[in-house]
Structures are given as structure tokens and as C-alpha cells.
């Protein structure tokens, strides 16, 4: 069997390269051959594949509602608007393709909280551009929390 050993492969215009280093392959760009925005990745067990782009989070944000909705870590999020006690509207930088994506939210739970409810999504405001979440505590009454995080999965527009 023949073996070709290289450390760098560049295209003719020298715009794209593939580098082998430390037992792995490095590149700044991955593009599907058949469809530019579609790359299949072999999953666990080596018997199934998943689409790389569909398996990535498209929007996330971490906000402190107590401190005037100060944003922490974000991705594809331009701002957060306080729309009421325990409610915040997240504004995306790039829209999602539709409004039927699955959003996930969580909040901190402090020992002083009683009868804690879940972070909830107001379905009437789940749009491809923004959505609002609420944190309920103390027998169903909304309250601001120091840590509210959200992630949205779906296709970008």
C-alpha cells in the first residue's frame, strides 16, 4: 500500500488549507461537496450520521434580570429587553428560518425560593427574530432572577 505524507495542503489560490498536526486535521473552513451547507458527521457507534449544521446551537444568552438585564455570555444575540417582572425578550442578530424551533431555558434556584416553577416560554411571542421567557417562583408569581440562560436550536434563515 502506498502512503503520502504531507503537513499542508493548499488550494491553487492559496485561500484554503488543510494542516495535519498532532494527530489531527486543522482547517479554517469546512464546506460540503454536494451541498455547501451540509456536512454529515458519523455519530456514536459508527453506524449513524448527523448533519453538522443542524446539531449546533444557533442562539444562546445568559442574562441577570436583577441587574437591569445585564447580558453575560451570548451568541447570535444583540440585546435583551426587560418586558416585565421575570420576563425578558431576547433579540437575535441573525434570524431563525421559522418559529417552530425548540428553545431551552433554565434559571438559578436559590434555597430561599419555595414552590419554584420552570422557566416558561410565551408561545405567542416565539418568533424567528425574538422570543420571551419568564421565570416563575413563589406560588406562580413571576420574579426576576440573577441567572437566566436560554439556548435555541433550529435552522438559520
pTM exceeding the 0.75 threshold for the entire prediction: no
Domain ranges in the chain?
A: 57-153
pLDDT attached to residue 18 = 77
Per-residue pLDDT band at 114 (split at 50, 70, 90)? low
Q: At 135, list the grid cell.
A: 421565570
DSSP, residue by residue, 52-115? TTTTSEEEEEEEETTTTTEEEEEESEEEEEEEETTEEEEEESS-BS-S---EEEEE---TT--S
Percent of the chain past pLDDT 90, that is, above it, reads 3
Query: Which residue, 96, 100, 107, is CA-closest to 59?
Result: 96
- Is the pLDDT at 76 greater than 70? The verdict is yes
What 8-state DSSP symbol labels residue 156? Answer: B
> 17-55: per-residue pLDDT in tens?
778 877 787 877 788 888 887 888 887 888 888 887 777
Say if residues 111 and 154 touch (Cβ distance below 8 Å): no
Higher pLDDT residue, 16 or 153?
A: 153
Per-residue pLDDT band at 75 (split at 50, 70, 90)? very high
Q: At 32, list the grid cell.
A: 460540503
Amino acid at each position: 500500500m502506498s502512503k503520502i505524507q504531507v503537513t499542508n495542503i493548499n488550494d491553487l489560490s492559496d485561500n484554503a488549507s488543510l494542516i495535519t498536526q498532532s494527530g489531527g486535521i486543522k482547517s479554517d473552513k469546512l464546506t460540503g461537496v454536494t451541498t455547501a451547507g451540509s456536512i454529515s458527521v458519523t455519530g456514536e457507534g459508527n453506524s449513524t450520521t448527523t448533519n453538522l449544521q443542524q446539531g449546533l446551537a444557533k442562539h444562546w444568552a445568559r442574562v441577570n434580570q436583577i441587574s437591569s438585564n445585564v447580558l453575560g455570555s451570548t451568541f447570535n444575540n444583540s440585546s435583551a429587553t426587560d418586558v416585565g417582572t421575570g420576563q425578558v425578550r431576547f433579540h437575535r442578530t441573525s434570524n431563525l428560518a421559522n418559529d417552530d424551533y425548540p428553545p431551552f431555558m433554565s434559571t438559578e434556584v436559590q434555597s430561599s425560593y419555595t414552590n419554584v416553577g420552570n422557566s416558561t416560554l410565551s408561545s405567542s411571542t416565539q418568533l424567528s427574530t425574538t422570543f420571551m421567557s419568564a421565570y416563575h417562583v413563589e406560588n406562580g408569581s413571576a420574579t426576576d432572577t440573577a441567572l437566566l440562560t436560554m439556548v435555541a436550536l433550529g435552522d438559520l434563515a
